[in-house]
Amino acid sequence: NALPSGPNEASFPHAARWYKHIAAVKGLTAKAGSAAPAPAAAAEEDDEDVDLFGSDDDEVDEEAEKIKQQRLAEYAAKKANKPKTIAKSMCTLDVKPWDDETDMVALEAHVRAITMDGLLWGQSKLVPIGYGIKKLQINCVIEDELVSLDVLEEKIMEGEDFIQSMDMAAMQKI
């Protein structure tokens, strides 16, 4: 059992391969179409010599390695000299007095008297709450590694004569 001649391998290589495969699956022998096996073999040999990515694994260019090591050393030195960023936060604190007769100037003076490394007090204002009572709303900038908000709250709350409570109204990372 033989099939008629298949497609020309030189003109239609994929169709010829498929034709041979079907013939083998069916148990038939395919008659060879007109093919040029010699140029195909020569093309395969040429493909082996072509290096598409240009990699020479056998040879190591000492000049390129020296330049690469120099650049890595320069990058490491540049990175070591770069100062680390300091994480800062801007906090708005609400400090509430006991009653409307509390001296708000003394309350603000007590709060601003707190000094710590990494703590910078900003602007403040008196905000009315109700029934003539005003709260002190004050901004501060803190360095996150140096100042703990819990410690700051404890120091503010030491003024028991003036302060009923303290809340964190807002906090933003800078």
Statement: the pTM of the whole predicted model exceeds 0.85: no
Predicted pLDDT of residue 136: 94
Predicted pLDDT of residue 20: 86
Predicted pLDDT of residue 35: 47
d(CA 115, CA 123): 16
Predicted pLDDT of residue 164: 92
Alpha-carbon 40 to chain mean position: 51
d(CA 44, CA 113): 86
Give me the tens of pLDDT residue by residue for the chain, a chain 174 residues long: 555 677 888 899 999 899 888 888 887 765 655 444 445 555 555 556 666 666 655 566 788 889 999 999 989 888 888 877 788 999 999 999 988 888 999 999 999 999 999 999 999 999 999 888 999 999 999 998 899 999 999 999 998 888 999 999 999 998
Alpha-carbon 100 to chain mean position: 51
User: What are the start-end ranges of the H helices in the chain?
Assistant: 13-26, 37-49, 62-81, 104-112, 149-156
Predicted pLDDT of residue 105: 92
Predicted pLDDT of residue 26: 82
